[in-house]
Amino acid sequence: MLAGLIRPTSGRASILDQPVPGPNLRRVGTMIEEPSFYPYLTGRANLRYAALLHGGVSEARIDEVLHFVRMENAANKKVRAYSQGMRQRLGLARAVLHEPDLLLLDEPTNGLDPVGIAEIRENLRTIARQGVTILVSSHILAEIEKLVTRVVAIERGRVRYDGSLRNLVDRVVERIVTLRLEAMDVEKLRSALSDEAIRGDAVTLAEAQDPHEARVRVPHAEIPGLLRRLVTAGVDLTEVRSEGDDLEGAYLRLLREDGRPA
């Protein structure tokens, strides 16, 4: 609806303070789910066709966006030979070709390997630093968490949350953190943690996946006190790592608040 591809049965939508569909869509770049191209044309030819539709896009700009998404070496290959990940990269290149003010992206990292995901993530950060607003729709919450500053959570057609990522996690998720502790003497560490006076009432032991560490579940506010008690007990800690709250946990709690099992 925001991209002007379908019309709402009721209500209205607007982009950049103007109703859609409308002339403001010329200032919007889109990549909706898996992008479609003419398979018998090369990647460069597909971008040239898109450039003609937009108007005023130079050949130098086509070269620029191909380099930006690291597709210059595949630019002259026909799209039918592209992998899904290559199509995703070309889709992002097409979306930014006309230098839009707003990007609408649906699952932009779909089909990419971990290296490709990291590269697209950095591309989007670069675009955002240029003043472009980016709206990303995705079910891969772990990836979204690494990218966004603001979250809109929609469930059953209702906006359940609209605000900063940090505030969502702080508001919804119980602030329980898993600490992975390593020490010069791991047995001394484990012995100290078995002492309730040192561990404290709110701290629970968790199964350690590494024989050289101990894991505990602890409320976020209790972490400083636990670490102080361990040091006072003569435990020489060498490393403290946390496995904290995340966007996925926050979203699942939103669903439970809404009465839906998660």
What are the structural domains, with CATH classification, of the chain? 14-148 (3.40.50.300), 155-174+246-262 (no CATH), 175-244 (3.30.70.600)
pLDDT reading at 211 higher than 80: yes
pLDDT (0 to 100) of residue 149: 83
pLDDT reading at 145 higher than 60: yes
pLDDT reading at 256 higher than 70: no
Report the candidate in 85, 145, 100 with the shortest Cα–Cα distance to residue 3.
100
pLDDT (0 to 100) of residue 262: 45
Quote the mean pLDDT of the chain. 85
pLDDT (0 to 100) of residue 232: 92
pLDDT reading at 183 higher than 60: yes
Rounded mean pLDDT, 55-79: 93
pLDDT reading at 260 higher than 60: no
pLDDT in tens, 5-20: 888 888 888 888 888 8
pLDDT reading at 242 higher than 50: yes
pLDDT reading at 251 higher than 60: yes
Q: How far apart are CA 126 and CA 43, in angstroms?
A: 22
pLDDT reading at 261 higher than 50: no
Q: How far apart are CA 43 and CA 75, in angstroms?
A: 5
pLDDT reading at 245 higher than 80: no
CA distances to 37, 68, 177, 201, 258 from 125, rounded to whole Å, are 25, 12, 28, 43, 33
DSSP conformational letter for 238: E
pTM comes to 0.67
Lowest-pLDDT range, 125-129, 153-157, 173-177?
A: 173-177
pLDDT in tens, 89-137: 999 999 999 999 999 999 888 878 888 888 888 889 999 999 999 999 8
Rounded mean pLDDT, 148-171: 79
DSSP conformational letter for 207: -
User: Do residues 31 and 91 lie in contact, with contact meaning Cβ atoms separated by under 8 Å?
Assistant: yes
